[in-house]
A and B are shown apart, each in its own frame.
Chain A
Amino acid sequence: MEQITKDQPQRLSFSSIEPRLQLAWDSTSLGALKTCPRYYKYSILDGYVTHAESIHLRFGLEYHSAMEHYHRQRAKGIDYNAAVISTIRHVLNSTWDYKLGRPWTSDMTNKTRETLVRSIVWYMVQYKDDPCETVMLKNGQPAVELSFRFELGLETTITHEQYTLCGHIDRGVTFAGGVWVKDYKTTKSDLNEKFFDQFMPENQMSLYDNAGNIIFFEENTFKGVIIDGARILVNSSQFQRQTITRTQKQREEWLKDLLFFLRQNEQYVANDYWPMNDKACNNYGGCPYRSVCSASPDVRPMILKELYGHRSWDPLVTREI
Chain B
Amino acid sequence: MSEPLPQQNPNAVSPLSEPDKNSLNDFLQNRITKLFNTPPLDLTDNDIADVVKYFRAERHRFKQLEAENEQKRQPGQRKRAVSPKSVKEALAQEPVQDLGFDEDD
Contact = CB atoms under 8 A, between A and B. Distances in A.
A associates with B? yes
Interface of A: 58, 81, 84-85, 88-89, 92-93, 96, 98-99, 101-103, 113-114, 117-118, 121-122, 125, 128, 234-236, 320-321
Contact of A89 (B2, B40, B101): B40
Contacts of A122: 55, 59
B5 interface: yes
Contact of A98 (B6, B55, B82, B101): B6
A88 B59 contact: no
A114 B32 CA distance: 10
B55 A81 contact: no
Contact of A85 (B5, B39, B49, B82): B49
B52 A93 contact: no
B48 A89 contact: yes
Given A92-B40, A93-B41, A85 B52 contact: yes
Contacts of A103: 36-37
Contact of A88 (B52, B62, B104): B52
25 contacts: A58-B1, A81-B101, A81-B102, A85-B48, A88-B51, A88-B52, A89-B45, A92-B43, A93-B5, A93-B41, A98-B5, A99-B3, A101-B39, A102-B37, A103-B36, A117-B51, A121-B51, A121-B59, A125-B56, A125-B105, A235-B82, A236-B82, A236-B87, A320-B1, A321-B1
Interface string B6-21: 1000000000000000
A98 B3 contact: yes
Contacts of A121: 51-52, 55-56, 59
A114 B2 contact: no
Best-surrounded residue of B43, B48, B82 (most CB of chain A within 10 A): B48
A236 B39 contact: no
Contacts of B71: none
Interface of B: 1-3, 5-6, 36-37, 39-41, 43, 45, 48-49, 51-52, 55-56, 58-59, 62, 82-84, 87, 101-102, 104-105
Contacts, number: 65
A113 B36 contact: yes
Nearest to B66: A236
Interface of A, secondary structure class, is helix
- Nearest 3 pairs between A and B by C-beta? A235-B84, A121-B55, A92-B40
Contacts of A118: 55, 58-59
Contacts of A84: 52
Q: Which of B5, B40, B58, B82 has the most chain A CB within a 10 Å cutoff?
A: B40
A89 B104 contact: no
A236 B62 contact: yes
A254 B41 CA distance: 47
Contact of A235 (B49, B56, B62): B62
A211 B19 CA distance: 51
A235 B91 CA distance: 13
A96 B39 contact: yes
Contacts of A113: 36
A249 B52 CA distance: 46
A49 to B, nearest CB: 13
A167 B104 CA distance: 36
Contacts of B101: 81
A124 to B, nearest CB: 8
A98 B43 CA distance: 14
A320 B102 contact: no
Contacts of A320: 1-2
B1 A235 contact: no
A117 B56 CA distance: 11
Contacts of B55: 117-118, 121-122
Given A121-B52, A320-B1, A98 B105 contact: no
Contacts of A114: 36
